[in-house]
Each structure stands twice: as C-alpha cells, then as structure tokens.
Amino acid sequence: MTNPPNPEKVREEISEFLRNRYGNQVAVTDVDLNIPHEGTATTQSSLFEQIDFTLKPTELEEYLRQYVLHQEEAVEILATKICTHFHRRKWELDHPDRETSAGQIKSNILMIGPTGVGKTYLVKLIADKIGVPFVKGDATKFSETGYVGGDVEDLVRSLVREAKGDMKLAEYGIIYVDEIDKIASSGNLVGPDVSRSGVQRALLKLMEETEVDLRTPHDLASQMEAVIETQRTGRAERKKVSTRNMLFLVSGAFSGLADIIRRRLAKGTMGFRRDEDLPRGDQDVLRRVTTTDLMEYGFESEFVGRLPVIAQLHELGETALYDVLTNAHSAVTRGKMRDFAAYGVELSFDDDALKEIARRAYQARIGARGLMTVMERSLIRFEKLLPTSGVRKLHVTRDLILEPERVALEILASDGVAVFQRKFLERSGLVLEFPKESVTWVRENLGGEPARIADRLAEMFQNYEYGMKLAGVQSQKVTPDMLADPDVFLDRMIKKAYEEKGNPGGEVH
Ligand SMILES: Nc1ncnc2c1ncn2[C@@H]1O[C@H](COP(=O)(O)OP(=O)(O)OP(=O)(O)O)[C@@H](O)[C@H]1O
Ligand SMILES: [Mg+2]
C-alpha cells in the first residue's frame, strides 16, 4: 500500500466485512471517518500525580549514578536536560497565559557511544524514575513502505499503549530511537539514500511538533472500532496525540564520525597548531563533534538542529566492567544467582573469577553485554547439571571461568561419588572409601554422563552389600583397580575371607 485508503474505500470495506459476518442486519451509518480533534478528559492535576516533576537535576544524577557507572559526563547531561525538560513543561502548564512557545526547541538529546555501554539503560532508568511512558525504536526498522512516516508515527502509538491509553500522559513520554547513525544519507552505507533522508524527515516532524492519529488509516480494525464507538456514544472521541511535549532521544555508535572530525580539525590547524596538539583517541576526538560534522556524516541540517544536546558515552574498560559486575545493582551476577537459586543452588563468586569475567568481557568488545555472554558461557554446564546432582553450593573460581568443562566434571565426579557413598551407607550400614585417585578414575571413566555418576556406581557395586557382609568387611577402600572390575575384586575378597577364617560372616548367607 503506497497511500492511505480514502474514507469512502474504508467505509465500503467495513460494510463488506459486516455483511459477511452478520448478513444484512448490521449496516454502517454515514459517519465521518475524519474524526475531529476534541479536548481530552485527563486533567492537569492527574498528570502531576503521575510525573515526578519536583525532581532536581542533582537528585536524578545521584540516583542514576548508583546504576550507571563510568559515564559521569553523559549521566550529568541527561539528568540535567531531562529534568529541565519536565520542569519546563510544568512551568508552561502553570503559566498558560505567557507568550506562546512557538518555535521553541526542546532539549532533544543525541547520544553517541559504542554498543553496550549504558545508553538504553540510562533512558529506561530515567523514564521509570520520572514515571513517564517510554518507547524504544530502532531507526533501521523504519521503512517508508506503507505510507510515508507511518512506521515512525507508530512510535507515538506505542507510547500511548505504554501509557495504558492515557493520551495526556503519553504526550509527556520519552521516545528513544537507537541506531540513528544508520539513517545517515551518505557514507559507505548500503541501501537507497532517499529512504534514509525520508526517515530523517519523518522523525524530524515528530521531534518538532505534530499530531499523530492513533488510528492508522491502513488499519481496518481500528477504523471499524471508531465507527462502532461513534455509533454507540454519539460523539467522536479525540484520537490524536500531539508530540509537542514529548522528549526525543536518539543514539548511535557513529563509526567513522571520529575520522570526519579529525579531518576537520587537521584542516583548521594549518599554520596555527602542531599536529601533536590534536586529540588522538576516538573518545577525545568525538568530544569535539559539531553540527557540521554530523551533517557531513549524512544528517540534514534541520535534523541536527532539533538535537541541541549531545552526550557522549565511553567504551567501558576492563576495570570499568569489573565495577559494573560488582556493583550492588548488577543484573548480571544477581540474575545468575537467582537462576541458580531457582534450583536450590547457592552461587557465590571469587573476586578473581569476577576479574577474569571482566577481562574476557572486555575482549568481546560489546560493552557490558559481554559480561553476560561470558557468564553464560562459563556457567551453562553447571546450570544444566547441578539441578540433578547433590551439589547445593557453587563457588565460582577463576579456574571455573577458564575451564568450565573440566571444573564441572571435577565437581560432579566428587558429588556423584559422595551421593553414592551416602546412599550405600544408608542402605547397608557399610562404608566404601574413595581416595583421591579413585575419584579421578571416576571422573575419567564415568565422566561421559556426569549426571549419572551416582547411578553408574550403584550398578557397578550392586553386589557389594551382600558380598561385604559375607566377607565380614565393614569398611572397604575402593581403589582404581577395583573400580576397573568390581565383581572380580569382590569374588577375591570373599574367597580370601573364607580361606583365612572359614566362615567369617557367621550367619550371613
Ligand atoms: N555504564 C554502565 N553501568 C552499569 N551497567 C551498564 C553500563 N552499561 C551497560 N550496562 C549494563 O549492560 C546492559 C546493556 O546496556 P545498554 O542496553 O544500555 O547498552 P546500549 O548502550 O544501549 O547498547 P546498544 O547501542 O547496543 O543498544 C544494561 O542493561 C546494563 O545492565
Ligand atoms: Mg541500546
């Protein structure tokens, strides 16, 4: 579909739908499908009850710092600008008579930073704290199929859904669009330029101020709902949402942007400064970003103009990742502890293990997300096997992170032996001792099915209760030789006992 269907067409389709479903009993009356824009029910006071407008920048900053580590600059900028945004909205609601704010530019924010360093996390935390609805979209997902800007406008519709239909609240929501660098229109990107600048323009319209119809023209169901609603209540309900007070945040990794800035800086220095004075690392270079750099990167000047605030997020180094991991709010360690607790296994971590996880996560270069990846990769075997074992505590060591397979087998072999020993003792009152080398034998020979070690030992030693009683043996040391052929060993034990003492077992037969 390239254009929205006209109301006539929609009406026809609805009529047909109703005819097919209900025969001729139900018909569509001649209502106007271009529903007029009317006032809304939610009052200002209910809005203030829901949005924490009293929050001050330093308070929000302090709150965020508990969660988001090593991004002081971005935290400061976001906390301040977002607080100001909401205080401004409040001020405007309180002073409706003051001069119109036509032409005002909101403090929409551009975040530049690599993957997994806290961009989405920050926005989510802020939206939760302030109590406004929040939606996240991905710029790469916006196509201009359907009708121009339709997919972009869907963000606003999702915001209303997030606000559970409270349109007034939705109008104060936060829209966050990630991968914005992918809709830059030049550079070495694939795909048609036209569509990318088209998406920029559609987004621009939202960021500026526009009204979005909650009923998509191509959605027959919502059009039908409108007709039925109007028939029922006799009036057309307001279904348009203004983006005037919404806050927009966009972000991207902007690979290649540093080079653009570097080139500009190098040009500007001719004759003035020496090369050595220029910033070198990408992080430092990006700090110097200007609107012209972003335009050269492929953004229209109007688009960049709607993003007056730029916050830079940095790559997280090894120690930063360690801090994230050991932070009291770390979802990674706490999440994993809960996963294991769900099976009744208590998980704890050695500090060296956490350092190793951070080191490996850093190598993955996917920011804090790498922590999760490393954690999962190291613990997956334990997560699978411990629930069926007798192990109820797991202390994660550096060794475990380095060689999870080996350590898992070690733990499970010892556990399998212990479970078997305990069951054997409980049933027979007899003791089978397993010296270290025998546990090693178990690991090496029965490790193929680690979850079944105790059962396999029970099978191998099934004649031992009877045999040991016959031989009058209370406690037997299990050697690796014995493990290799338990029955032969048992025969020998019984024979030997008989040779030595006649019938040593007394009554036992
Ligand atoms: N600076 C940080 N401090 C604490 N935790 C962090 C930080 N950065 C990331 N995390 C953790 O990593 C997870 C992933 O980060 P987030 O979703 O914010 O990445 P992102 O920057 O949005 O990356 P992308 O560009 O790939 O979307 C967060 O949910 C959070 O648990
Ligand atoms: Mg993200």
**CATH number of 350's domain:** 1.10.8.60
Decide if 50 is inside a domain: yes
Can you give the pLDDT at residue 33?
A: 44
Pocket of ligand 1 contains residue 215 by CB under 6 Å? no
For ligand 1, what atom is nearest to the CA of residue 179? 25
Atom 19 of ligand 1, nearest CA residue:
116
Ligand 1 pocket check for 252: Cβ under 6 Å: no
CA–centroid distance, 49 to ligand 1, in Å, is 30
Same domain, 107 and 34: yes
Question: Which pLDDT value is given to residue 61?
Answer: 97
Task: Tell me the CA–centroid distance for residue 37 and ligand 1, in Å.
Answer: 40
Q: Check pocket membership of 207 for ligand 1, CB cut-off 6 A.
A: no
Say whether both 50 and 179 belong to one domain.
yes
Q: Is the CB of 115 under 6 A from ligand 1?
A: yes
Q: Considering the domain boundaries, does residue 506 fall inside one?
A: no
Q: Which ligand 1 atom is the nearest neighbour of the CA of 366? A: 26
| One domain for residues 362 and 387 | yes
State if residue 162 touches ligand 1 by the CB under 6 angstroms criterion: no
CA angle at residue 128 from 247 to 103, to 5 degrees? Answer: 10
Asked whether residue 282 is assigned to any structural domain, the reply reads: yes
In a domain, 412, yes or no: no
Q: How many residues does the chain have?
A: 509
* Residues 389 and 273 grouped into a single domain: no
Taking the centre of ligand 1 as the mean of its atom positions, its distance from the CA of residue 327, in whole angstroms, is: 13
In a domain, 116, yes or no: yes
Same domain, 288 and 244: yes
* Domain end point (choices 259, 280, 312): 312
Question: Atom of ligand 1 at shortest distance to CA of 332?
Answer: 31
Looking at ligand 1, which atom is closest to the CA of residue 251? 25
Taking 70 as the pLDDT cut, the residues of the chain under it are: 1-11, 13-15, 17-19, 21-52, 98-104, 143-150, 186-194, 217-223, 225-226, 229, 235-238, 269-278, 502-509
| C-alpha distances out from residue 503 to 255, 493, 495, 509, Å | 86, 13, 10, 10
Q: Whose CA is nearest to atom 11 of ligand 1?
A: 368
Residue 70 Cβ < 6 Å to ligand 1: yes
d(CA 66, ligand 1 centre) in Å: 14
Residues 369 and 235 in one domain: no
Q: Is residue 109 part of a domain?
A: yes
Nearest CA to ligand 1 atom 6: 118
C-alpha to C-alpha distance for 202 and 204, rounded to whole angstroms: 5
Residue 37: what pLDDT?
A: 39
Contact (CB, 8 A) for 155 and 142? no
71 lines ligand 1 (CB under 6 A): yes
Instruction: Among the bound ligands, name the one nearest to the CA of residue 334.
Output: 1
Let me know whether 154 and 244 are in one domain: yes
The parent domain of residue 354 ranges over 318-402
Q: Is residue 395 included in any domain, yes or no?
A: yes
Same domain, 206 and 339: no
Helices (H), 342-435: 351-364, 369-385, 398-402, 404-428
- How many domains would you assign to the chain? 3
Protein residue with least CA distance to atom 26, ligand 1: 115
How far, in Å, from the CA of 330 to the mean position of ligand 1?
11
**Is 291 in the same domain as 394?**
no
Residue nearest to atom 31 of ligand 1 (CA): 331
- Does residue 442 have its Cβ closer than 6 Å to ligand 1? no
Long-range contacts of 384-391 (CB under 8 A, 24+ apart): 385/412, 385/450, 385/451, 386/340, 386/343, 386/345, 387/343, 387/344, 387/345, 388/451, 389/415, 389/416, 389/419, 389/450, 389/451, 390/415, 390/418, 390/419, 390/454, 391/345, 391/415
The residue contributing the CA closest to ligand 1 atom 29 is 121
Last residue of a domain, one of 275, 292, 312: 312
Residues 305 and 348 in one domain: no
Residue 12: both structure tokens together: 């026809």
Residue 23: per-residue pLDDT: 65
Which CATH number belongs to the domain containing residue 227 in this structure? 3.40.50.300
Q: Which ligand is nearest to the Cα of residue 252, counting in written order?
A: 1
Residue 2 falls within a domain, yes or no? Answer: no
Q: How far is the CA of 248 from the centre of ligand 2 (A)?
A: 14
Distance (Å) from CA 136 to ligand 2 centroid: 9
Q: Which residues make Cβ contacts (< 8 Å) with residue 170, sequence separation at least 6?
A: 133, 156, 159, 160, 162, 163, 241
The beta-strand segments (E) located in 292-360 are 309-312, 346-349
Q: Within this chain, do residues 69 and 135 fall inside the same structural domain, yes or no?
A: yes
Is the distance from the beta carbon of residue 323 to the nearest atom of ligand 1 less than 6 Å? no
Ligand 1 binding pocket includes 366 (Cβ within 6 Å): no
Instruction: Show the tokens assigned to 429.
Output: 């009152």
| Residue 121 near ligand 1, beta carbon < 6 Å | yes
Measured distance CA(466)–CA(463) in Å, rounded? 6
Residue 346 CA to ligand 1 centre (angstroms): 27
Q: What is the pLDDT of residue 21?
A: 67
Residues 362, 395: one domain? Answer: yes
- Of the listed ligands, the closest to the CA of 253 is 1
Q: What pLDDT shows up at residue 186?
A: 64
**In the listed set 346, 372, 402, which residue is the last one of a domain according to the structure?**
402
Is residue 473 within 8 Å of 493, Cβ to Cβ? Answer: yes
